[in-house]
Amino acid sequence: MSNMISFEIKKFFHRKKNIFIIMIFIALSIGFIMINSSLENQYKKSEISSIDYSIESLKKDIPDTKDTLKQYPGNKNLEVLLETQEKEIKIYEKQKEAYINKDYSTYLKCKIQLDKDEVNGIENNTIVAPADNIENLKNNIKMNSLLLEKKIVPIFTGVSMEGYNFFRIFLNSPFSILIAIVVIILCADVVSSEFDSNTYKLLFTQPVSKSKILISKLLAMIILSVFILLFVLTIFFISLGIINGFGSSEYPIQYFKNNVIQYIGIGKFIMLEITMLVCMIIFMASLSVFMSSLFKNTSMSMAVSIIISIALYMITTKGMLKSIASLNPFAYFDISSVLQGTASTIYSNNNVDFYHGILTLSIFSIILIFTNFMCFNKHTWAKFNTNSTNLLSR
């Protein structure tokens, strides 16, 4: 079995198509890094502008508040509002100074205080805000409190290209579906190529069972797909870590578990992402190899696999399969969103989480592999026997 797997791995690297796809994937990944690095620089520059805008807005609002207070002297709500506005200006000025001087402890304290004041304002009906805004503010307070407690420098988690954060945001849409397509293309010809080139006739005369032939091909594709993708991501992780710093492995990241939002270190979060990524790769490899066995034509198997995957992924992300989202393997492709609870909100299904993702992807992989074995043994034997009979009759 190990010799057969080794042989399949050697054949893999002799296919120009595979090398080309890997290079395309690397190029797109570099593009992803460059775009996010540019956005990160813009965010850093705009932070001061954002604080200045808040200060100027408050300074413009204060005269209006004072005028209104003159019209309604003794109004407690207006008095509280004026006091809050004057207080917030001082906090914003302190926050700006702290950010410029890279005093992130003071900077975080200011952000926490501003968010707490806004929460109090919403709860006391002195500030009008959307219903879900107060929950977001409380999450921000918790996050910034953890950063302050652990003495971690805050980053723009949506775009930061520090090593750990790169890994986290890479495994999300649209790169999650790109990874799936890469796996499909890499695996699509593993069986069908034998029929395209008629080498299956020689292959099936070997003293090896058809099941072993199929399992060796499937295992080789899974091993190669997992290794190549993780190797590329690891290289980028190390490179970005050297250039931008790795960041703290304890950086708190939102994690959805048992219908509750909690916070775990980004290092642990990435390990969970990798586990789901491996399960996703196994599922996509199983699907692609199954199609390769079923159609015995590389172009057809590749096209059908990609169309099915993209179509079901798009249908899923549009929320058209909400009721069965937890049983749908394509609902777990946006790995980071699944782990952070965003996916469960989109699908209105609290069962869309890490554990259901692992279970669903594993079960569907097993079903595909088992079905593939049955179809492969039946169809290949039938075709091989037909060809052998025709050859003998001549």
Cis peptide before 174 (omega within 30 of 0): yes
Contact partners, residue 270, CB within 8 Å, separation at least 6: 164, 167, 168
Three state DSSP letters for 221-258: HHHHHHHHHHHHHHHHHHHHHHHHCCCCCCCEEEEEEC
Asked if residue 168 and residue 105 are part of one domain, the reply reads no
Splitting the chain (394 residues) into consecutive groups of 10 residues, what average pLDDT does each group show?
A: 80 87 95 95 92 92 88 82 88 94 95 90 72 82 94 94 94 85 90 68 64 86 94 96 95 91 94 96 94 84 91 86 88 92 89 94 94 74 45 41
Chain centroid to Cα 300, Å, comes to 29
Asked if residue 167 and residue 143 are part of one domain, the reply reads no
Centre a 10 Å sphere on the Cβ of residue 128 and count the other Cβ atoms it contains. 8
* 257 φ/ψ angles, rounded to the nearest 5 degrees: -150, 135
Asked if residue 16 and residue 61 are part of one domain, the reply reads no
Asked if residue 177 and residue 224 are part of one domain, the reply reads yes
Decide: residue 283, CB within 10 A, 0-12 exposed, 13-18 middle, 19+ buried: buried
Residue 263: strand pairing partners: 254
Chain centroid to Cα 104, Å, comes to 28
Q: Print the domain residue range for 97.
A: 46-150
82 domain residue, yes or no? yes
Q: Which amino acid is at 233?
A: L
Asked if residue 309 and residue 354 are part of one domain, the reply reads yes
Number of DSSP helices (H) and strands (E) in the chain, helices first: 15, 2
**What is the pLDDT at residue 379?**
54
Asked if residue 376 and residue 229 are part of one domain, the reply reads yes
393 domain residue, yes or no? no
Asked if residue 334 and residue 359 are part of one domain, the reply reads yes
Contact between residue 349 and residue 326 where contact means Cβ atoms under 8 Å apart:
yes
Asked if residue 219 and residue 127 are part of one domain, the reply reads no
Asked if residue 374 and residue 227 are part of one domain, the reply reads yes
394 domain residue, yes or no? no
Q: Which of 51, 49, 45 is nearest to 89 (CA)?
A: 51
Which of 150, 171, 203 finishes a domain?
150
382 domain residue, yes or no? yes
3-state secondary structure at position 264 = strand
Contact between residue 237 and residue 19 where contact means Cβ atoms under 8 Å apart:
no
Cα–Cα distance, 200 to 314 (Å, whole number): 36
Asked if residue 101 and residue 185 are part of one domain, the reply reads no
Contact partners, residue 178, CB within 8 Å, separation at least 6: 25, 28
Asked if residue 53 and residue 14 are part of one domain, the reply reads no
Residue 254: strand pairing partners: 263
**Per this entry, what is the length of the chain?**
394
**What is the pLDDT at residue 155?**
94
**What is the pLDDT at residue 129?**
65
Contact partners, residue 106, CB within 8 Å, separation at least 6: 94, 95, 98
368 domain residue, yes or no? yes
Asked if residue 337 and residue 218 are part of one domain, the reply reads yes
146 domain residue, yes or no? yes
155 domain residue, yes or no? no
Which of 121, 150, 179 finishes a domain?
150
Q: Which of 218, 217, 298, 187 is nearest to 8 (CA)?
A: 217
Which of 117, 150, 183 finishes a domain?
150
Q: Count of domains in the chain?
A: 2
Contact partners, residue 73, CB within 8 Å, separation at least 6: none
93 domain residue, yes or no? yes
